[in-house]
Amino acid sequence: MVEKLGTGFLKIINDIKKISGLEIFENQDLKKFSTMRLESKGNLVVVKTIKALSDLLKLLNKENQKFHILGWGANQLLAKEFSVPVIKLEFDFDKSYLSQVRDEYILPASVSIPVLSSHATKFGLKGWEVFTGVPASLGGAIFMNAGTNLGEIGDLVKLVKIMTNSGDIIERVIQKGDFSYRKNNFLKENEIIVEATLVHHGVDESIKNKIKDYLALRNKTQPLKEFTCGCIFKNYYDESKTKLGMKTCRAGQAIDIIGLKGFQINSLRVSPKHANFMENLGDSNIEDVSKMINKVKKVLNWQFGVDFETEVKIPKD
Ligand SMILES: Cc1cc2nc3c(=O)[nH]c(=O)nc-3n(C[C@H](O)[C@H](O)[C@H](O)COP(=O)(O)OP(=O)(O)OC[C@H]3O[C@@H](n4cnc5c(N)ncnc54)[C@H](O)[C@@H]3O)c2cc1C
């Protein structure tokens, strides 16, 4: 049976309220917490410190209460009504830490990727151009191994501090194979990235222009003024080249070929600018997006005989 909006959570809310370093918003409209602005409601817990997160997870674990973790909400669909609490990290970060170039950067998971990108632009940090224009929290970017045509963030991660669902911290020194295309291969279910150490490849003046040029290109080719969640589908890779007769097929191009650019379900439209984006033009919800994903997948399969995997995360709750 599906649990009503947070009844399990409400049973322990008084104990949760005793934990310092948390802000609790009951029955909150969550629309503004995702870049796609889908209709969504839930109990939101904003976490300010690692200690508060640990206390919270210990309590939730004791009560067998599941939870959902939200970064910037730039690559996940939000449920219409979350029955489990939604956890958002907002750890303190003194931006003066980024006033100079460092050999390594120890950063909270909640720091924003655009802030790191500005730092890279200012100082010409080689390697950090890979996440140009990616709206994300650092934790979300590492979870997704976010990247662009210029590379992936996984190549810059040296160490990750992870909180287990029982509230303990473990450290993961990143090894070969820990990341692949738009995913990490080391986090277990309900583990939360709380901190990461990033490296770079030195300082190079030309990086500043590389970042500026890449931003301009994205502006031209992607619907950045609309409410979207980035790419819906992963590009298709087939090492054996047996199915599509080629190694790579970009999902956006494939959707364009099947003629679904501009196709609309209620207020949700396949972007006329970039077919792998879906634009929420009004009051779309997860059901509209799921219908659209199924429709596009089906037609892609008829046309190309392969299944395109979704990149966007769809909550189980
Ligand atoms: C306009 C636009 C352009 C985009 N362009 C790109 C692009 O070029 N390249 C690209 O890779 N992506 C792109 N994206 C998608 C998105 O920016 C990335 O996937 C990003 O990494 C998502 O980070 P987030 O913080 O928003 O995570 P969310 O979307 O909030 O979460 C994504 C997943 O990560 C999990 N998660 C989040 N934080 C943590 C944490 N601290 N610990 C453990 N799990 C966590 C969530 O539970 C969820 O499963 C784009 C999105 C938009 C809207």
CATH of the domain at 189: 3.30.465.10
CA atoms within 13 A on the CB side of 273: 16
Is 215 among the domain residues? no
Tell me: do 142 and 110 sit in the same domain.
yes
Centroid of ligand 1 to alpha carbon of 51 (angstroms): 24
Q: Can you give the pLDDT at residue 28? A: 97
Tell me: do 78 and 123 sit in the same domain.
no
Is 217 among the domain residues? no
Q: Which of 34, 37, 144 should be mutated for ligand 1, with most atoms under 8 A from CB? A: 144
Is 312 among the domain residues? no
Q: Can you give the pLDDT at residue 2? A: 44
Please say whether the beta carbons of 214 and 129 come within 8 A.
yes
What is the chain's pLDDT, residue by residue, as a tens digit (317 residues)? Answer: 445 566 778 788 999 999 999 999 999 999 999 999 999 999 999 999 999 999 999 999 999 999 999 999 999 999 999 999 999 999 999 999 999 999 999 999 999 999 999 999 999 999 999 999 999 999 999 999 999 999 999 999 999 999 999 999 999 999 999 999 999 999 999 999 999 999 999 999 999 999 999 999 999 999 999 999 999 999 988 777 666 777 788 999 999 999 999 999 999 999 999 999 999 999 999 999 999 999 999 999 999 888 999 999 998 76
| Ligand 1 atom having least distance to the Cα of 73 | 30
Of 208, 243, 266, the position where a domain reaches its end is: 208
Is 221 among the domain residues? no
Is 310 among the domain residues? no
Tell me: do 127 and 180 sit in the same domain.
yes
Is 214 among the domain residues? no
- Strand boundaries in 164-313, DSSP class E: 169-173, 179-180, 183-184, 192-199, 236-237, 248-249, 264-265, 268-270, 278-280
Q: Tell whether ligand 1 has an atom less than 6 A from the beta carbon of residue 179.
A: no
Centroid of ligand 1 to alpha carbon of 74 (angstroms): 5
Q: Which residue's CA is minimally distant from atom 12 of ligand 1?
A: 146
Tell me: do 83 and 161 sit in the same domain.
no
Of 89, 117, 141, the position where a domain reaches its end is: 89
Tell me: do 51 and 69 sit in the same domain.
yes
Report the number of distinct structural domains present in the chain. Answer: 3
Tell me: do 121 and 192 sit in the same domain.
yes
Tell me: do 84 and 185 sit in the same domain.
no
Buried b / exposed e across 15-43, counting CB within 10 Å, b at 16+? ebeebebbebeeebebbebbbbbbbbbbb
Tell me: do 231 and 199 sit in the same domain.
no
- C-alpha–C-alpha distance, residues 154 and 145, integer Å: 5
The parent domain of residue 284 ranges over 227-304
Q: Tell whether ligand 1 has an atom less than 6 A from the beta carbon of residue 313.
A: yes
Q: Can you give the pLDDT at residue 10? A: 79
Centroid of ligand 1 to alpha carbon of 16 (angstroms): 27
Of 38, 60, 89, the position where a domain reaches its end is: 89
Q: Can you give the pLDDT at residue 244? A: 72
Please say whether the beta carbons of 43 and 6 come within 8 A.
yes
Tell me: do 79 and 19 sit in the same domain.
yes
Is 30 among the domain residues? yes
Is 2 among the domain residues? no
Tell me: do 80 and 102 sit in the same domain.
no
Cβ-based neighbour number of residue 138 at 10 Å? 30
Q: Tell whether ligand 1 has an atom less than 6 A from the beta carbon of residue 148.
A: yes
Read off the CATH number of the domain in which 290 is found. 3.90.78.10
Phi, psi torsion values for 271, nearest 5 degrees:
-60, 130
Centroid of ligand 1 to alpha carbon of 75 (angstroms): 4
Tell me: do 189 and 123 sit in the same domain.
yes
Centroid of ligand 1 to alpha carbon of 1 (angstroms): 30
Q: Tell whether ligand 1 has an atom less than 6 A from the beta carbon of residue 84.
A: no
Q: Which residue's CA is minimally distant from atom 38 of ligand 1?
A: 140
Tell me: do 123 and 41 sit in the same domain.
no
Read off the CATH number of the domain in which 35 is found. 3.30.43.10
Q: Can you give the pLDDT at residue 1? A: 40
Centroid of ligand 1 to alpha carbon of 23 (angstroms): 23
Structure tokens at 284: 């779309």
